[in-house]
Amino acid sequence: MPDSGEETELPLTFTPLGTALGARVTGLDVTNISTEDARVLYENWLKYHVLVVPGPIISEDQLVDFGRCFGALENARRQSVLALRPEIMVISNIRENGETVGALPDGELSFHFDRLHQKVPNKAGVLHAMEIPDAGGDTWFANMSLAYDTLPEATKARLEGLTALNTYEYGQTHSANKKLDADAPTAVHPVVRTVPETGRKALFICRLMTDRILELPEAESRALLDELCDHAESQRFVYAHQWTPGDILIWDNRCTIHARTDFDGRQRRLMKRVTVGDDTPPVH
């Protein structure tokens, strides 16, 4: 048949990135996201927990529009000279006049939930890669719903009703380095939480921020937390993302933890981020 000259809009496709979690999105025009696109993105984000949209590099306005497909956005806790919009958080090791222009500048970062130390952790995080080092600086994600599902039934029963104290010192990348003062933010959350839209349960503890399980003696709490973290960080639950400039990645902060691998601090790494807020605290 002759070409009518009209462009046919291709449907969004979601290709799994592995058996644990994650899908690559194709067919999305990030400069013109329709209401239907947003609905399909949200539906598949709930299914896969992590979505990756490959390049190109987009504007801050377009990044904000993408983030809003998943909920209301928060303003960045720390503003940067490299960002124009208040919603944009810069994560970078770039320094100007000896001072970092972004947050979490260098090195390895332990597995964590964002803002687990606050009363209402955020719903999702979106990262957009602008500059990346030649090697390293990868972001790993672990599926905490799958980690919970595969626990022995006796362990699941043991976790019923348990809560944990979570603390954090801003800028620290390993729990052993935390030095908490009297004003440090703290929050108590269930050790197992439920994702509202799906009803799935997920482990809600992490190595970086969870200090202890309140209902257990200290030694028993430490042993159980180590057991749960070792289990959740197993490779069978992990997707490791190697960044390409232009990548947009969104993760569900309610049921995935993430970590960053080390990289050469002499090479520039620049990511822009928006944060999708939540309005209700986690429940079991």
- Place 105 in a pLDDT band, splitting at 50, 70 and 90: confident
CATH class (in words) of the domain with range 13-276: alpha beta
- Place 171 in a pLDDT band, splitting at 50, 70 and 90: low
* Nearest residue to 253 (alpha-carbon basis) of 123, 120, 118: 123
Pair 252, 195: CB distance under 8 Å: yes
Burial 160-189 (b: 16+ CB within 10 A, else e): eebebbbbbeeebbebeeeeeeeeeeebeb
The whole-angstrom distance between residue 48's C-alpha and the CA centroid of its chain comes to 13
- Place 14 in a pLDDT band, splitting at 50, 70 and 90: very high
* Alpha carbon distance 194, 23 (integer Å): 22
Q: What is the structure's pLDDT at 8? A: 45
**Is 7's pLDDT higher than 60?**
no
- Place 2 in a pLDDT band, splitting at 50, 70 and 90: very low
H or E element at residue 219:
helix 218-232
Q: What is the structure's pLDDT at 5? A: 47
Q: What is the structure's pLDDT at 6? A: 45
For 28-80, the pLDDT digits (tens) are: 999 999 999 999 999 999 999 999 999 899 999 999 999 999 999 999 988 89
Identify any residues that bridge with 194 across adjacent strands, giving them in sequence order.
Answer: 201
For 143-152, the pLDDT digits (tens) are: 999 999 999 9
* Nearest residue to 168 (alpha-carbon basis) of 215, 106, 113: 113
- What mean pLDDT value characterizes the chain? 93
Pair 140, 257: CB distance under 8 Å: no
* Largest interatomic CA distance in the chain: 76
Judge if the upstream peptide bond of residue 152 is cis by omega within 30 degrees of 0: no
Q: Which of 146-150, 175-179, 198-202, 262-266 has the lowest mean pLDDT?
A: 175-179
Q: What angle do CA 58, 37, 255 make, to 5 degrees?
A: 85
Strands 23-26 and 50-53: parallel
